[in-house]
Each structure stands twice: as C-alpha cells, then as structure tokens.
Amino acid sequence: MKIIVDSKEAINKLVSSMVKKLVSEKPDACLAFTAGHSLEGVFTELASDETADLSGCEVFNVCEYIGADESLSCAHQLNEELYSKKGITKLHNPPEENPESYDDEIAAHGGLDLVVLGIGLNGHIGFNEPATLYDTHTHVQQLTDSTKRMKAEHFGGIENVPDMGVTMGLKTICSAKNVILVAFGEEKAEIIHKLVYGKTTTYVPAAMLQMHMNMTLCLDKEAASKLD
C-alpha cells in the first residue's frame, strides 16, 4: 500500500492527474467511481482539465441506492459532477436484479483498470458494510445506521435514506488492477488507522485493500493524523 499525505487541494489535483495518466496510456480504460463528498474535488479537477479525455472510457458506478428518486441517485450525482462534463457516455450501473451479472459485464470489458473510492466512518467502501464477506461479488446490501447518518443531509433527513443499496462486492473491487482511496478530515482518522494498522477483517471492509498490490491511499493531514 502506498500512502500519500498532502493538503486536500493537492490530493484532489494528484488523484485527478493519476486518472488522467492512466487514461492517456489506455484511452478505453475501464474505470469505477463512488459518489459522495470525498471525490467531489477530484471530479472538479478532472472536469476543468481540458486535456483529460475520458470519452473513450467504460465507466462502472461502484454502487447505487435502491428506491431513491433519480435526482438523489449515485448515478445522477456522478453524471452532474463528472460524466456530463467529460463526454462520458459508456456508463454502467449495478443492477438490482441479478446483480452478479455486473461482474460478468466488467469481465467482458477486460476488468477494471482503476477504482477510485471514498471510505465511510465504519470502514465501508461502496456499500460493503461491516461483516461483508471478502469473496462477495456485486450484491444487494442493507445499509447500516452509520451509513444512513452519513447520507442524511443528501436525502433531507435520515428517515428518507433508502434502506438498501446494490454495490460491487469486496472481491469485485479488489480484483481491479489499481485502487485509489481518498479520505479527508479528522473524522476519518480513526478508520484510516484501522485500515492501515488493523487486522485484515471483514468488520472493517476497507482493510481488505491491505492485500491489494496496487493500492494508493490519498489523505489530507487531518485524515492521516493517527498514522505513525
């Protein structure tokens, strides 16, 4: 695992440049992104970079709510923040019905070249909540109260957050050739400590990324404050 610590602004620029470099080397790369606050700055950097051409990429959304209004969906947020601004049209969203077919779809395109993720306070990546098994493929997942609290503002109250989502599984994510995880703020410091130093356990889903050969952890100083 490679760990990079810098200012939030510098991390956003760095991750954007990492995506751009990969795509410049492989214009038809298969990419995957999560929605949420952690990657908003990365998307802003990519969207404003006229030299970053993502139009040839196949892009797979990591996760999606079940039963959310379209305007509140992960797909809508990603489209508004990145896809529509970069001419990305080869889009894929995990299906609620027969979700494991998503893994087949990814494999048919040669596998994921890069997944860019945030992390939840309970260690979830995508919607893989604590106790998710490592060998899971794309699946339907009940959202924990911790995750729903994180999403409450987006939905105008925790009572409006969907109970269920569909997500790439831990095995799906860990099968990607490259993984970048972005975390900002002191509130993420404890879970980042567990990710880096904790045992590889399904109770901290992101800790499974310890085993990935090409994993880059990108943090601001606050998120890295509990690392040695």
Task: Enumerate domains of the chain plus CATH numbers.
Answer: 2-49+61-219 (3.40.50.1360)
Residue 211 is predicted with a pLDDT of 87
What is the reported pLDDT for 32?
A: 99
d(CA 202, CA 206): 8
Query: In whole angstroms, how far apart are CA 150 and each of 121, 143, 211?
Result: 8, 11, 27
Coil vs helix vs strand at 225: coil
Q: Report the pLDDT value the prediction gives residue 163, as an integer from 0 to 100.
A: 96
Length of the chain: 228
Q: What's this model's pTM, rounded to 2 decimal places?
A: 0.96
pLDDT tens digits for range 119-177:
999 999 999 999 999 999 999 999 999 999 989 999 999 999 999 999 999 999 999 99
- Give the per-residue pLDDT at 220: 98
CA nearest neighbour of 32 among 87, 104, 94: 94
With both helix axes pointing from N to C terminus, report the angle between 40-48 and 8-25 in degrees, rounded to the nearest 10: 60
